[in-house]
A and B are shown apart, each in its own frame.
Chain A
Amino acid sequence: MTTEIRSTTWVNTNHPAPAQKPPVTEVGAIGWLRANLFSSIGNTILTLITAVALYFIVTGLVRWVLGAFWQPVWENRKLFAVGLYPIAQMWQPAAALLMVSALFGLSAGRWGSIMRNLGVGLAALLLLFAVIPIGVQAQLVMAAGLGLLLIGYVAGARVPIASRWLALAWVVSMPITFILLAGGVNLPGLGIRWQFAPFVEVNLWGGLMLTMLLAVVGIALSFPIGVLLALGRRSKLPIIKWFCIGYIELIRGVPLITLLFMGMTMLPLFLPSGWGNPSLLVRAMTAITLFSAAYLAENVRGGLQAIPKGQYEAADALGLSAFDSLRFIILPQALTKVIPAIVGQFIGLFKDTSLASLVGLLELVAVGKAVIQQPEWLGTPGGIAREVYVFIAVVFFVFSYGMSFASRKLESKLGFGKRQ
């Protein structure tokens, strides 16, 4: 039925017309190929060049991986995992791992979404290392971790645990991890000394465990500090505002490595006397946290600026206090908007922990350097640096990509139905 173009009055007697399917222009694999890869002469040439380049890269890589000398990495797996941590006390990091696995399981079951994605990732890793013959005891720990994660998941899904208790458990899990790894609490400045096992000095902690500790502590502490700095920067009180601006700009103007060295040499100058000499680990964590907080503050500020004035006004008009308005209205929206930026920054922080190797911490990269220097491999033709660094790169990639993947999932979940 077409419209009568010339007539002044016309009634569409066919209304409402039934909806029809869109026309099919491309069918099947060949249609897709033609549309996406060979749509023009230029495109065809690009496709062919890319295909040839990919062929050489992939075959070269596969040939190298199959022929490479992986024995040093394999034999030093304990060093890569926990550094010089004493073998006799390995049950302590194992206990920490089990605790975290159980918490991940509970959270995945209780909260779903991003926790479920992270939980699945952790479960896959635990399963992998439970199967690979890395050592019977370690495999049993991994299997136990997997079991706890699954039990936690079922329990979390069935039992309605209050969210705040679970969140509290996460917060408490951090100091517990430290106490577990250290074998007790030793704070001479506060006169506290308690132990359940021989103390393990932090200079013996290392490997992936140390990398994880640096990253998790950095993320967990810099997040609240960064949010406070962002809010402070928008404060109406000049002292707070200028302090926050000064802090943010000062830190952002300095490379992380200088902050790390400053932490090594200058931190005691800022501490009250009697606090003694903080360990290398604490110094590095302080530097990383302060560094990350400044960048986080700028990301959060971007989110805060994207909130329309009407949201503040609606909260005010309802009589919400300034604190409640921030807590329930402004921050949830502002933080959601900047998830990609924040996660990107956390991935950066995770990778930046490798700089701690330069100030004497035995994290993943430092372990790699040590392994390369081991005398038994010195005779290897071509050395073993390639294998070791590729291995470290893969470890960093797995965790970074995991974070990035989880954040994309979170974005799409939080973005649903929120357009206005």
Chain B
Amino acid sequence: MAGHAEDTDIIIVRNVNKWYGDFHALKNVSLTVKRKEVVVIIGPSGSGKSTFIRTINRLEEHQSGEIIVDGIPLTHDVRNIEAIRMETGMVFQQFNLFPHLTVLQNITLAPIHVRKMKKKDAEERAMQLLERVGIPEQAHKYPGQLSGGQQQRVAIARALAMQPKIMLFDEPTSALDPEMIREVLEVMEELAESGMTMVVVTHEMGFAKGVADRIVFMDGGEIVEIGTPEHFFTNPQHDRTKLFLQQILK
């Protein structure tokens, strides 16, 4: 039933609007993300980047427009919402690890109770993921005992443990000390190389330049410009984009 376009397009967002009270936070936002594509969303604070990425897995509810994730329409139906959340991993600015659980328990909780994996299998997989993000020796510590960079890498492993098809990153390095940003970006770069579909809200222009397939510039709740990194950093079209890049790259 799904056409060719549906097969390659894993996230389809059409004319999405969102209001907080009277404040129009997202204005007619439309975007399509292809499988294995890395899309980086940039823009000044308050531009709606985070709100937008959070509507994709229904952490924020949109009031009009259409969102389809891997063929599943995002409606009020709880089953659809949970199905979409199983396909999308999310990494937050504040990590949001569960402080009362060990690193290993943080990672295995959802696979055991949502994916119904056996505990032993889930733990084995969790150890592989910790290996992948470079901190297998921290498995039995609590999040409070880790540095910010380590916590964020655990958060990435936790999201990956659900074997998502899409990873959403909401300013993953903004709460980190400068010397820890690199270690998180390296994990994200490796993830992009492995073919993961990623939507990343970030202020890290180096990451956007080196890893993104497309960059989306948002301002005032709208998408202002979409293009390749090359287009953005050499030939931006809209005045607002030019001003933003000037300020940030100065």
Residue pair A314, B97 in contact (C-beta under 8 Å): yes
Q: A313-B59, A419-B144 are in contact. Are A319 and B94 (CB under 8 A)?
A: no
Residue pair B85, A316 in contact (C-beta under 8 Å): yes
A356 to chain B, nearest CB (A): 37
Q: A328-B109, A418-B99 are in contact. Are A317 and B144 (CB under 8 A)?
A: no
Residue pair B110, A319 in contact (C-beta under 8 Å): yes
Asked if A31 is at the interface (CB within 8 A of a chain B CB), the reply is no
Residue pair A320, B143 in contact (C-beta under 8 Å): no
Residue pair B97, A319 in contact (C-beta under 8 Å): no
Closest residue on chain B to residue A329 by CB atoms: B98
Which A308-341 residues have C-beta < 8 A from chain B? 308, 310-311, 313-314, 316-321, 324, 328-329, 332-333, 336
Contacts of A414 in B (CB 8 A): 100
Residue pair B144, A316 in contact (C-beta under 8 Å): no
Asked if A67 is at the interface (CB within 8 A of a chain B CB), the reply is no
Contacts of B98 in A (CB 8 A): 311, 314, 328-329, 333
Which A293-319 residues have C-beta < 8 A from chain B? 308, 310-311, 313-314, 316-319
Residue pair B144, A320 in contact (C-beta under 8 Å): no
Closest residue on chain B to residue A321 by CB atoms: B82
Residue pair A328, B144 in contact (C-beta under 8 Å): no
Main SS of chain A's interface residues? helix
Q: A317-B89, A318-B158, A319-B85 are in contact. Are A420 and B110 (CB under 8 A)?
A: no
Asked if B237 is at the interface (CB within 8 A of a chain A CB), the reply is no
Contacts of A310 in B (CB 8 A): 92, 94, 96
Residue pair B113, A420 in contact (C-beta under 8 Å): no
Contacts of A308 in B (CB 8 A): 94, 96
B134 to chain A, nearest CB (A): 21
Residue pair A320, B113 in contact (C-beta under 8 Å): yes
Asked if B216 is at the interface (CB within 8 A of a chain A CB), the reply is no
Asked if A133 is at the interface (CB within 8 A of a chain B CB), the reply is no
Residue pair A317, B59 in contact (C-beta under 8 Å): yes
Asked if A191 is at the interface (CB within 8 A of a chain B CB), the reply is no
Closest residue on chain B to residue A332 by CB atoms: B100
Residue pair A319, B100 in contact (C-beta under 8 Å): no
B78 to chain A, nearest CB (A): 9
Closest residue on chain B to residue A309 by CB atoms: B96
Q: A317-B59, A319-B82, A319-B86 are in contact. Are A419 and B110 (CB under 8 A)?
A: no
Residue pair B100, A317 in contact (C-beta under 8 Å): no
B81 to chain A, nearest CB (A): 9
Residue in contact with A417 in the complex, picked from B59, B86, B144, CB distance below 8 Å? B144
Interface size of A as a range: 20 to 34
Contacts of A329 in B (CB 8 A): 98
Contacts of B145 in A (CB 8 A): 417
What's the Cα separation between A418 and B99 when bound, in Å? 5
B84 to chain A, nearest CB (A): 9
Asked if B114 is at the interface (CB within 8 A of a chain A CB), the reply is yes
Residue pair A313, B99 in contact (C-beta under 8 Å): no
B29 to chain A, nearest CB (A): 20
Closest residue on chain A to residue B141 by CB atoms: A417
Residue pair A333, B99 in contact (C-beta under 8 Å): yes
Contacts of B85 in A (CB 8 A): 316-319
Residue pair B90, A317 in contact (C-beta under 8 Å): yes
Residue in contact with A418 in the complex, picked from B100, B114, B158, CB distance below 8 Å? B100
Residue pair A420, B114 in contact (C-beta under 8 Å): no
Which A216-244 residues have C-beta < 8 A from chain B? none
Asked if B162 is at the interface (CB within 8 A of a chain A CB), the reply is yes
Most buried by B among A318, A320, A321, A416: A318
What's the Cα separation between A215 and B45 when bound, in Å? 55
Residue pair B144, A314 in contact (C-beta under 8 Å): no
Residue pair B99, A419 in contact (C-beta under 8 Å): yes
Residue in contact with A318 in the complex, picked from B99, B110, B142, CB distance below 8 Å? B110
What's the Cα separation between A316 and B81 when bound, in Å? 10
Q: A319-B110, A328-B109, A418-B142 are in contact. Are A314 and B162 (CB under 8 A)?
A: no
Q: A417-B145, A418-B142 are in contact. Are A318 and B109 (CB under 8 A)?
A: yes
A49 to chain B, nearest CB (A): 45
Residue pair A313, B96 in contact (C-beta under 8 Å): yes
- Taken residue by residue from 34 to 70, chain B's Cβ proximity to chain A (1 for < 8 Å, 0 otherwise) reads as 0000000000000000000000011100000000000
B152 to chain A, nearest CB (A): 13
Closest residue on chain A to residue B113 by CB atoms: A324
What's the Cα separation between A420 and B59 when bound, in Å? 22
Contacts of B86 in A (CB 8 A): 319
A160 to chain B, nearest CB (A): 15
- Taken residue by residue from 138 to 168, chain B's Cβ proximity to chain A (1 for < 8 Å, 0 otherwise) reads as 0001111100000000000011001000000
Closest residue on chain A to residue B110 by CB atoms: A318
What's the Cα separation between A15 and B31 when bound, in Å? 54
Residue pair A316, B109 in contact (C-beta under 8 Å): no
Closest residue on chain A to residue B91 by CB atoms: A317
Residue pair B109, A319 in contact (C-beta under 8 Å): no
18 A–B contacts from the bound complex (CB under 8 Å) = A313-B59, A314-B96, A316-B58, A317-B57, A317-B89, A317-B90, A317-B159, A318-B110, A318-B114, A318-B158, A324-B113, A333-B99, A416-B142, A418-B100, A419-B99, A419-B144, A420-B97, A420-B144
Known A311-B98, A320-B114, A321-B114; further 5 A-B contacts with Cβ < 8 A: A313-B96, A317-B90, A324-B113, A328-B109, A418-B142
| A binding-site residues for B, Cβ under 8 Å | 308, 310-311, 313-314, 316-321, 324, 328-329, 332-333, 336, 414, 416-420
* For the complex of A and B, 4 pairs with smallest distance between CB atoms: A314-B96, A417-B142, A310-B96, A318-B110
| B binding-site residues for A, Cβ under 8 Å | 57-59, 82, 85-86, 88-90, 92, 94, 96-100, 109-110, 113-114, 141-145, 158-159, 162
